[in-house]
Amino acid sequence: MTQLQRTNLREQVLEVVRQAMVSGELRPGDIYSAAALATRLGVSSSPVREALLTLVNQGLLEPVRNRGYRVVAMTERDLDEIYEMRLLLEVPATLSAAAAAGPDDLARLDGLAAEIEAAAGDGDVARFLEADRRFHLDLLSLAGNGRLTDAIANLRDQTRLYGLEKLAEHGRLTDSAREHREILATVAARDWGRLEGQVRAHLKHIRADWASG
């Protein structure tokens, strides 16, 4: 994990630790102390502890008395349930959000798509995940339902995408990055039938390929 700048430390720690769990850098069953993570990140223990407690409240970590925090393990059944819930929530939410997208929104999302492609080109999984998360949640926010966006964000954060490291190692992360440009082109064309198919395919891709490790 990379060291952090000393601004908005709690939020930065939260994002970095979340990415590390999703990518599998922090593994289920292993115990991590706030002090040890703070040393790795180059910050004090206080913002790390605050971020870890937030993740406990979200059900992503569990406290281990006098030892630290453990990443909550996800079974294949758990991941199947998350995938099913994301299909039920994220497909219609994306269609609703896309219908509300204007030129400025598309331009902003295009910038995020460029960040995703740059990260993929560099094989930087952490940066890829961060930009990918911002892209999808930014798009979903256009639907105007904050609770729905938060619910989908929580489901995204419970997904485990161990397979991304292998894609990066083989230079295939750029194939996945292109999906975001394709989604934007479909939104611009206002082709809702095609967009629904793309979102469903993207979610299936995440469950079937990215989650394998």
Identify the CATH class of 9-71: mainly alpha
Question: Which is higher by pLDDT, 30 or 138?
Answer: 138
pLDDT at position 104 over 90: yes
Mean pLDDT of 180-200: 97
Tens digits of residue pLDDT in 23-39: 778 888 889 999 999 99
Strands 68-71 and 31-32: antiparallel
Q: Which residues have a Cβ under 8 Å from the Cβ of 118 and sit 6 or more positions away?
A: 127
pLDDT bin (cut points 50, 70, 90) of residue 207 is confident
Q: Encoding tokens for residue 166?
A: 């292998």
CB 17 within 8 A of CB 37: yes
Six-digit token string for 128: 């890829």
Say how far apart CA 116 and CA 32 lie, in whole Å.
Answer: 29
In which band, very low, low, confident or very high, does the pLDDT at 138 lie, cut at 50, 70 and 90?
Answer: very high
Where along the chain do its domains lie? 9-71, 76-210
Angstrom distance (rounded) from CA 16 to CA 114 = 21
The pTM of this model reads 0.79
- 76-210 is a CATH 1.10.4160.10 domain: no
At 156 the pLDDT is 85
